[in-house]
Amino acid sequence: MTLLPSAPPPKKLGLVIDLDVCVGCHACVISCKEWNTGGYGSALSDQDPYGADVTGTFLNRIHTFEIVPEGGEIVGEAGDARIVHFPKSCLHCDDAPCVTVCPTGASYKREEDGIVLVDEDKCIGCGLCAWSCAYGAREMDLAAGVMKKCTLCVDRIYNETLAEVDRVPSCVRTCPANARHYGDLSDPGSNVSILVAERGGFDLMPEQGTRPVNKYLPPRPRDRLADKAMPLAENSDGAKGFFAWLDGVLDRI
């Protein structure tokens, strides 16, 4: 059924991604692929995996952006531009266009927790849902001919055979920097809602009218490098004791 749930889901499970913390290591990309290629639905295939033109299906990808403040410049490491690593997976939108455009009923949004899934036995691989998603969260698997997307690791988060600590999405469990958080965004007291409130979490492309569940936390303000004193390596004026002596000896050589 590709009508969206008539009542808002009692839970809105999703991710909160901290752009201040992500180091762009791509560990979540790999753990997502590893978990999901053996989990929900068909495998995540690669085409020409050992060749020069390797491509494959991923449910989570990391983009990297460069942001130059007004009047700022990019001069190697001393410039004002900052690099932000940007993980992106399905945002499990409340008004998910990918669900309503699906002609077969394969795409659906779960009534109980708002997770957006594809029933691969119904999917004809028309690709229209990928066209409708502004976020690029859906990729057709070229081997299986069905649409793949982030499942919010639905086969982990409710999986009682896993230890409790592992009942979170694979990407969240893996992230070495703790940049990805999982929880119920409809509950204002949840860990993720508190993060969003405290850090000013925002929606991606609100103008698309999709009302994403996942939120992003902005990078914290940064000191301008130009305002900092010259690094010591360039300048030995303040050296004391042993270093003052060494400085003098080296000057004399």
Partner 1 sequence: MHPASSIILFTTLSGLGYGLAAMLGLGLLDPALVSTKIAHVLAILLIAGGLLASTLHLGNPQRAWRALSQWRSSWLSREGVMAVATFMPLLASAWASVFHDMRLPITGLIGAAMCGVTVYCTAMIYASLRAIQAWNTPLTPACYLLFSLAGGLVLAASFATLGEGLSKWIALAGTVALAAAWGVKWAWWKRLRTMSPISTPASATGLGAIGTVRLFERPHVNENYLTREMGYKVARKHAAKLSLLATAAGGVLPCLFLSIAALSGTWMAATLCTLAVAGFALGMLVERWLFFAEARHAVMNYYGG
User: Which residue ranges make up the site for ligand SF4 (CB under 6 A)?
Assistant: 32, 35-36, 59-60, 89-93, 96-98, 101-102, 104, 106-107, 116, 118, 123-129, 133, 135, 137-138, 147, 149-153, 169-171, 210
Main-chain phi, psi angles of 165, to 5 degrees: -65, -25
- Residue 206 has which token pair? 């609100």
In terms of CB distance, is 208 or 236 closer to partner 1?
208
Number of residues that bind partner 1 (CB under 8 A): 69
Main-chain phi, psi angles of 87, to 5 degrees: -75, 140
> Which entry of partner 1, ligand SF4, none binds 86, CB below 5 to 8 A by partner kind?
partner 1
In terms of CB distance, is 53 or 164 closer to partner 1?
53
Measure the CA–CA gap between 124 and 121, rounded to whole angstroms. Answer: 8
Measure the CA–CA gap between 190 and 211, rounded to whole angstroms. Answer: 19
The minimum distance between CB 188 and partner 1, in angstroms, equals: 21
Closest CA to 16 of 135, 152, 207: 152
Measure the CA–CA gap between 16 and 181, rounded to whole angstroms. Answer: 5
The minimum distance between CB 2 and ligand SF4, in angstroms, equals: 7
Question: Is residue 100 at the binding interface for partner 1, with CB under 8 A as the rule?
Answer: yes
SS3 label, residue 218:
coil
The interface region with partner 1, picked from 33-41, 57-65, 171-179, 182-190 by CB under 8 A, is 57-65
**Within positions 79 to 98, which residues make up the interface with partner 1, using CB under 8 A?**
81-84, 86, 88, 97
SS3 label, residue 156:
helix
Secondary structure letter of residue 48 according to DSSP: S
In terms of CB distance, is 190 or 210 closer to ligand SF4?
210
x/- track of binding to partner 1 for residues 148-187 (CB under 8 A): ----------------------------------------
Backbone φ/ψ region at 74: left (φ over 0), alpha (ψ -120 to 50), beta: beta
Question: Is residue 208 at the binding interface for partner 1, with CB under 8 A as the rule?
Answer: yes
The minimum distance between CB 1 and ligand SF4, in angstroms, equals: 12
Question: Is residue 103 at the binding interface for partner 1, with CB under 8 A as the rule?
Answer: yes
Torsion of CA 239, 243, 249, 253, to 10 degrees: -80
Contacts of 194 (CB under 8 A, 6+ apart): none
**Within positions 3 to 42, which residues make up the interface with partner 1, using CB under 8 A?**
3, 19, 29
Cβ 56 vs Cβ 44: under 8 Å = yes
Closest CA to 179 of 22, 26, 44, 66: 22
Which residues of this chain interact with partner 1, rule CB under 8 A? Answer: 1-3, 19, 29, 53-58, 61-70, 72, 81-84, 86, 88, 97, 99-106, 122-128, 130-136, 139-142, 144-146, 202-209, 216, 218-219
